[in-house]
Amino acid sequence: MIRGALFLLAALVLPGLPLHAQAAPDPAPAPAPPAEQIVAGLSREDVEITTSFDGSEIIIYGAIKRETAIPPDEALDVIVTLEGPAQALTVRHKERRAGIWINTSQVSIGAAPSFYVVATTRPLYLILTPAQDQSHRISIPLAMRAFAGPMEVEDAVPYTEALIRLRQANGFYRQDEGAVRLAEQTLFRADVRLPANLVEGVYSTRIFLLRQGRIIDTFRAPIDVRKVGLERWLYRLALEQPFIYGIMSLAIAVAAGWGASAAFRLIRRP
């Protein structure tokens, strides 16, 4: 979705961008949309990172509760997002100087999610208006929060585009259009695969219910991702008792080196 960042630019410059027919503004004084609400659940509320952790699957499912009948001829859509803890990072750009390629400029980004998935029932541009996207920060380019420090470059867009491109190539950012299955305009389900390279922290799930490009209900739930057992013990020791941790690492190294030496002497001496 390289076009995503361009979309961001367009959204910033042209707030009144004409939309696709499906998401066009309401025709005149339409009746108030019926009260529809999301009732949702997650297949798990926490993810435990063990030594053999190899990614995890989270099923986000639910139903739409309504008092009235299903309104006819109005598209109903669901968007599910899953966002990892934000990190500060720097995007650098290489240029050729005196024959060699060196980093010449950079943009610092104050907060970019370490992981971000947008799953939808249909292509995002068909079901979400840019204005709604702006206010809820749903699409990938808008999930990036703030630029940090003084800006050294005139145009930061290529940098954010590159960040999204690199993260999408690694599978950390995903836009899964059509990944949310909606049955009978009532039951929905999205399967989100979490990669093995997860960062610890609180992940947030959001579910948006849309009618005609407008968000009519929102649901949020946290998922706690944390290290357990040996992983947790080592992590805490490294942060809280770094000297002891360092000595321990060295002791293991020396013992392993000596052990191998002794073992080979035994093997070599028949």
Partner 1 sequence: MQIYLPIAEVAVNALVLIGLGGIVGLMSGLFGVGGGFLITPLLFFIGIPPAIAVATGANQVVASSVSGVLAHVKRKTVDFRMGWVLLAGGLVGSSAGVLLFNLLSRLGQVDLVVQLCYVVFLGLIGAMMLQESLGALRRARRSGPVKPMRRHQHGWVHRWPWKMKFRASGLYISAIPVLLVGAAVGVLGAIMGVGGGFIMVPAMIYLLGMPTKVVIGTSLFQITFLSAYTTLMHAVSSNTVDVMLAVLLIVGGVTGAQIGTHLGARLRAEQLRILLALLVLAVCGKLALDLFLRPDELYSITPGVLR
List contacts with partner 1 (CB under 8 A): 49-55, 87-96, 99-103, 106, 108-110, 148-149, 158-159, 162-163, 165-167, 196-200, 227, 230-232, 234-235, 238-239, 242-243, 245-250, 252-254, 256-261, 264-265, 268
- Identify whether the C-beta of residue 37 lies closer than 8 Å to the C-beta of residue 174: no
Separation in Å, CA 32 to CA 26, 28, 127, 211, 212: 11, 12, 19, 11, 12
Residues forming beta bridges with residue 217, ordered by sequence position: 209
Residue type, 149: G
**Spatial distance between the Cα atoms of 121 and 184, rounded to a whole number of angstroms:** 13
Nearest distance from C-beta of residue 154 to partner 1, angstroms: 16
Nearest distance from C-beta of residue 112 to partner 1, angstroms: 9
Nearest distance from C-beta of residue 98 to partner 1, angstroms: 11
For partner 1, the closer of residues 144 and 209 by Cβ is: 144
**Spatial distance between the Cα atoms of 58 and 107, rounded to a whole number of angstroms:** 34
Nearest distance from C-beta of residue 4 to partner 1, angstroms: 15
For partner 1, the closer of residues 89 and 216 by Cβ is: 89
For partner 1, the closer of residues 34 and 158 by Cβ is: 158
Angle at 171 between CA 165 and CA 177, to 5 degrees: 85
For partner 1, the closer of residues 41 and 257 by Cβ is: 257
Nearest distance from C-beta of residue 55 to partner 1, angstroms: 8
Scanning the chain, the segments in alpha helix (DSSP H) are 3-13, 124-127, 130-136, 140-143, 157-169, 229-240, 242-268
For partner 1, the closer of residues 43 and 90 by Cβ is: 90
Numbers of helices and strands, H then E, in the chain:
7, 12
Nearest distance from C-beta of residue 122 to partner 1, angstroms: 31
For partner 1, the closer of residues 80 and 163 by Cβ is: 163
Q: Which residue's structure tokens are 């190294």?
A: 253
Q: Which residue's structure tokens are 């013992």?
A: 255
CA 223 to chain centre: 13
